[in-house]
């Protein structure tokens, strides 16, 4: 069974920064570098939105409009880790952040949550004003 585990969520003041991490653990560890990866977030009562995605082969990254210029998605291949550096945080960034892995066969669908094969349990981010 594949497990993705997020960490790094916390409570911060507006304008602060957080760095979220995602690793693979459990009975079956997957090489995150071989998957398209993404960060999603969900606030209470709202839909899950894709925050950022990074391609498996070329490392191309995509960001939601609200994340551009403030968030950076990347990989640490040596640690088999996906990260999300979040700067200039705003109260509206609060929510549960999930990492997700999508297989590479059949193309890349960065925003389609249904195309992701594996999900983490989420890490909570709270930004206070």
Length in residues, the chain: 129
Average pLDDT over residues 3-8: 97
For 111-125, write each residue's pLDDT tens digit: 999 999 999 999 999
Please tell me the predicted confidence (pLDDT) of residue 106: 81
User: Do 54 and 37 meet the contact criterion of CB atoms below 8 Å apart?
Assistant: yes
Distance between CA atoms of 95 and 41, rounded to whole angstroms? 6
56: left (phi over 0), alpha (psi -120 to 50) or beta: alpha
CA distances (Å), origin 90, targets 25, 58, 94: 31, 30, 8
For 15-68, write each residue's pLDDT tens digit: 999 999 999 998 999 999 999 999 999 998 999 999 999 999 778 999 999 999
Please tell me the predicted confidence (pLDDT) of residue 59: 80
Please tell me the predicted confidence (pLDDT) of residue 12: 98
For 54-107, write each residue's pLDDT tens digit: 999 778 999 999 999 999 999 999 999 999 999 999 999 999 999 999 999 988
Distance between CA atoms of 75 and 115, rounded to whole angstroms? 20
């Amino acid at each position: 069974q594949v497990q993705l585990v997020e960490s790094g969520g916390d409570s911060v003041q507006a304008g602060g920064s957080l760095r979220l991490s995602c690793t693979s653990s459990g009975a079956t560890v997957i090489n995150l570098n071989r998957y398209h990866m993404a960060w999603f977030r969900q606030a209470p009562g709202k839909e899950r939105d894709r925050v950022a995605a990074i391609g498996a082969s070329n490392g191309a990254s995509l960001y939601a409009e609200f994340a551009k210029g403030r968030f950076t998605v990347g990989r640490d291949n040596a640690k088999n880790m996906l990260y999300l550096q979040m700067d200039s945080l705003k109260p509206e960034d609060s929510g549960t952040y999930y990492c997700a892995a999508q297989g590479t066969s059949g193309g890349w669908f960065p925003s389609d949550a249904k195309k992701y094969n594996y999900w983490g349990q989420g890490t909570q981010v709270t930004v206070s004003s």
